[in-house]
Chain A
Amino acid sequence: MSEPTERAAQLLLQALDHEEGDERIAMSEEAVTAADLSGDYYLQYMAREQLVRACTFGGEPEKALVAFSWMLAHFEKRPEGVSDWSVLWKYKWIISGIHEFPHIPNTRIYEMFADFEARAVRAGFGLKAAYNFRYRFERFRGERERAIEFYRKMDETPEDDLSNCSACILDERVSFAIYNRRDAVELAAPILAGELACKSVPLRTYAKLLLPLASQGQDKEAQNYHRAGYRLIGGNKNYLDRVAQHIIFLAVTRQLERGLTLFKKHVVWLEQTRNVYHHFLFYIAAWLLFEALAKAGNGRIKMRRAEDQHAPEAKPEISALGYKHNATVLAARFDKRNETDRFSTMLRDLNVSTAVEVLATL
């Protein structure tokens, strides 16, 4: 074996012994580079495949998109030895986060849905997975009726190998209950009891239940879920959106010191991720946190990090304004792309006192 071939193979194996996150991504990227230098087609394909996975679960979906488009192009030319399923399954990862980049236009997203559906049908699969994307995108846009319509279609379509795992399906039901302001905790029982779990459940489930629980005054339960859910996030920047949900929870329940600790620990993820929706949520969280700190009479807050772009000390009022501004700008960008006004409307009524109500169905 040539040197790059060996190196690529070695890196691919090595990467698997790391948790999802930056190191795994870095190793997979190096593996892609080495594989490209080696010119070994299967190694190039395998390395891309692993990079797609590492980036999807490590918080760099834009890189996953690039590697996936390479895979897809080569799969079409040389489909032998690769199953339709393995390609479509990764396509799901790509599509499920594509709307979180406001610079991808609506039309393109719908084209992508149609392309996925055509490929799924051609490969003999049903449309449950596709309805799931459509539901989530319409919900994201704020098109409630259409969202509910697609949810129903999804619900009525039987499961197949392309549809989500049972933990994710239930997690989606929980989300839908929250969306409709129905009790979601009981529904989530099998997840909370540890009976159903997967890569991202219960992590996601805990985070989305925080505000609904807080709104029902179930503080103790919410606190348990905060503790359990935050622990699972660890150092994986893929969950910046969930960190934001935890910080929002801490802000509205006035656990400000802990909120600030989380903020300081994770603010650097803004520079390490490109997922615009995650940034948006984190800006909202930071805004509410600093607003609460200002209200609680915190004069100045020490922010010192290495080479901080922010001032070493900040008045929480000023920070709140800054983050509110950032969130508002992104809300406008999303709304423009979505051709709706969901996010701008949401922000108009938002402050730390209304957050439980306004953000509970997020």
Chain B
Amino acid sequence: MDYRFQVNLNGIIELLSKHTYSSPGVFVRELLQNASDAILARTYIEPGHQGEFRIELVQTGSTPALIFRDNGIGLTEEEVHLFLATIGQTSKRDEAFAPRNDFIGQFGIGLLACFLVSEEVVVVTRSARKDAKTFEWRGRGDGTYSLTVLDTQIEPGTEVRLSCKAGSEQYFEADSVRNSAHHYGSLLRIPIKFSDSERTVLVNDERPPWEREFLDKESERVAYMQYGVDLFETEFFDYVPLHSDAGDVRGVAYVLPFSPSLAMKKTHRVYLKNMLLSEQTEGLLPDWAFFVKCAVNARDLRPTASRESFYEDDALAAARTFLGGQLRQYLIDLAAHDPNVLRALIKLHHLSFKALAVDDEEFFRIFMKWLPFETNMGPTTLTEYIENHKVVRYVSSWEEFKQTSAVAAAQSLCVLNGGYTYDGPLILQLAQIFPDLQVMHVDANKLVLGFKHLTLDEQDEVENFLKSATEVLLPFECTPEIRSFLPAELAALYNADPETLFRRSITATKEVVDGFWSSVLDEMAFGLADSSARLCFNYQNSVVHRIVRINDDKLMRHAIELLYVHAVLFSHRPLNAKEMALLNDGVLGFLGWSVDTFEGWVQ
């Protein structure tokens, strides 16, 4: 008898393929899932039943066909109607994404995936319960189906037959089917056998290393490392077996042999009850653990509908803490017993370890002597730094590092660069860990405070100069001062706090925007704290030394303007239009002046 689905099957299939299935090849996964569930259900009523799943690739005429056969629980007539109802109900997408907790619901939705590659899906099934008949269901992509009782009885179980739809040939090639079956089902305990016209092979012939027993440490190591190569095609640096009672998780973490890129971080291969859930699972490990790639099987965690991650619940939180603890312990053991390995590891993964140290004081203490930090005098570790310096000096941004490093070095001050994501917070933590340690933030202004003041006589000498400088620099919102400092070659140090720099970028941008945006920028600038840039002239610099003694007021002003522009350029900042004009006038003015002077000599 022929029936029609109450729904537009094509619409559903499109929906599923768009939202749930990453590739049409997932029908293999869905059928494996169905078979695995069916066999599990049968062992409940027949303890000791040996499950088996067979995949057969055959040719019917010129069209390849696939037959999937399990010896699971099979379906009764009532259940066949139930799964048909499930397909019918799938008309709303919410239901297509509902957790597939119940066996029959999963069965129906799993079958839908088959229509992605086959125009007609034939299911022959017989329940393992007493006196069951054999049913044949034929569903077609156009939405019609038939259900008949067969005269011949099959062994209890279910058989699904697919014939290749035009355009799906790639999914009916022997290699592709066998690889998919292995990909999704390699951990399944029921044997999966694949046959084509030539031979029959066992697809899942090997148990993962965490389910095997080893005679010694070395053979365990070989097995784990080889498994990593097979699974991820990567020669990993090392491995850490993982195991958590919470969530019933077992597996392995492989230490990456390179620093992971952003896109690679935090994605792991996760099996749920031995079926591959996803290769992109997030959230199972703590966020800091991006130095490993895992393969794990979880028996007791709840996947989200997208099947890309797990529900955030207590079990997941507990599992995460537990697995994180094992990775942490691995690192601490390395620190204690295998410093050379750790050293190599830190070269690749110090970011990951710093991320852990930020929230884990004990770990930080242990790893302080290993983790690399940057200073203006080269690389160091915090342990080394503390041994050599009574005061910890640090900058909190790249900008500050750029502004201060050379000048600080000239004063023999070693400054840590806290501009990196985890470095700043770790440096601040030093104060918590060592209450007697003085931890000091440094910026260019604070450095200037440490420069030598001029003597009273010297102050008299520079009075005129400072007066002129104040006037010249006023339009540039810059305050001059003069001190003696190293290096003597540096004529003047331009420094600006973040507020000033931001204001500078506003001033420069206002030169190119229209009236409306100019007002917006003004209003934004208005909300900033008061600040101005500072230009600290170096009394020790021979040029500055001569300029302060110039008697010609105009010449002195020109000189100050050029010193200012030079200092701004020296701090690697582009000039704004006003400063550019200053540079232009200054250089041309001096050129004219020196040509005049030179001509005077010649005459």
Give the interface of A toward B (CB within 8 A). 16-19, 21-23, 26-27, 29-30, 33, 36-37, 62-63, 65-67, 69-70, 72-74, 101-105, 108, 111-112, 115, 190, 193-195, 224-225, 227-228, 231, 234-235, 265, 268, 274, 276, 304-307
* Known contacts A69-B517, A234-B287; A17/B421 CB under 8 A: no
A-B CB contact pairs (8 Å), 29 listed: A23-B419, A27-B398, A33-B574, A37-B574, A65-B524, A66-B505, A66-B506, A66-B521, A69-B513, A70-B512, A70-B513, A72-B513, A101-B524, A103-B523, A104-B520, A108-B519, A190-B97, A193-B97, A194-B305, A195-B97, A195-B306, A224-B313, A228-B312, A235-B358, A235-B422, A235-B425, A268-B428, A304-B431, A306-B441
A306 and B439 contacting across the interface, CB-CB below 8 Å = yes
Interface residues of B in 119-159 (CB under 8 A from A): none
B312 and A111 contacting across the interface, CB-CB below 8 Å = no
Q: How far is the CA of A234 from the CA of B392 in the complex (A)?
A: 26
Q: Does B573 contact A (CB under 8 A)?
A: yes
The 8 A-B residue pairs with the shortest CB-CB distance, nearest first, are A194-B304, A103-B527, A228-B312, A306-B439, A26-B398, A69-B517, A306-B431, A36-B574
A306 and B428 contacting across the interface, CB-CB below 8 Å = yes
Q: How far is the CA of A91 from the CA of B29 in the complex (A)?
A: 44
The distance from the CB of B416 to the nearest CB of chain A, in whole angstroms, is 11
Closest to B396 in A: A272
B312 and A224 contacting across the interface, CB-CB below 8 Å = yes
Of A16, A62, A73, A103, which is within 8 A of B517 by CB?
A73
* Secondary structure type dominating chain A contacts: helix
Closest to A60 in B: B502
- Which of chain B's residues have a CB closer than 8 A to the CB of A26? 397-399, 419
B428 and A195 contacting across the interface, CB-CB below 8 Å = no
A108 and B523 contacting across the interface, CB-CB below 8 Å = yes
- Which of chain A's residues have a CB closer than 8 A to the CB of B573? 33
Q: Does B432 contact A (CB under 8 A)?
A: yes
The distance from the CB of B593 to the nearest CB of chain A, in whole angstroms, is 29
Cβ proximity bits B278-322 to A, threshold 8 Å, 1 near / 0 not:
000001000100000000000000001110110111100100000
Interface centre among B97, B392, B514, B527 (most CB of A within 10 A): B527
Q: Does B44 contact A (CB under 8 A)?
A: no
B517 and A306 contacting across the interface, CB-CB below 8 Å = no
Q: How far is the CA of A21 from the CA of B423 in the complex (A)?
A: 14
- For the A-B complex, the count of residue pairs with Cβ-Cβ distances under 8 Å equals 127
- Which of chain A's residues have a CB closer than 8 A to the CB of B392? 306
Interface centre among A70, A105, A276 (most CB of B within 10 A): A70
The distance from the CB of B591 to the nearest CB of chain A, in whole angstroms, is 23
Closest to A37 in B: B574
A306 and B430 contacting across the interface, CB-CB below 8 Å = yes
Of A22, A66, A304, A305, which is within 8 A of B421 by CB?
A22
Q: Does B3 contact A (CB under 8 A)?
A: no
Closest to A228 in B: B312
Q: How far is the CA of A21 from the CA of B398 in the complex (A)?
A: 13
Closest to A62 in B: B524
Q: Does B262 contact A (CB under 8 A)?
A: yes
Interface residues of B in 411-457 (CB under 8 A from A): 419-422, 425, 427-428, 430-432, 435, 439-441
Q: How far is the CA of A23 from the CA of B355 in the complex (A)?
A: 14
A18 and B262 contacting across the interface, CB-CB below 8 Å = yes
**12 new A-B contacts at CB < 8 Å, known A74-B512, A305-B428:** A23-B421, A65-B524, A66-B524, A69-B521, A102-B527, A193-B306, A224-B314, A228-B312, A235-B422, A268-B428, A274-B528, A307-B441
Q: How far is the CA of A257 from the CA of B513 in the complex (A)?
A: 49
A105 and B523 contacting across the interface, CB-CB below 8 Å = yes
A304 and B512 contacting across the interface, CB-CB below 8 Å = no
Of B420, B422, B425, B502, which is within 8 A of A63 by CB?
B502
Q: How far is the CA of A231 from the CA of B317 in the complex (A)?
A: 11
A307 and B317 contacting across the interface, CB-CB below 8 Å = no
Q: How far is the CA of A193 from the CA of B312 in the complex (A)?
A: 10
Interface residues of B in 511-538 (CB under 8 A from A): 512-514, 516-517, 519-521, 523-524, 526-528
A195 and B519 contacting across the interface, CB-CB below 8 Å = no
A193 and B261 contacting across the interface, CB-CB below 8 Å = no
A195 and B513 contacting across the interface, CB-CB below 8 Å = no
A104 and B523 contacting across the interface, CB-CB below 8 Å = yes
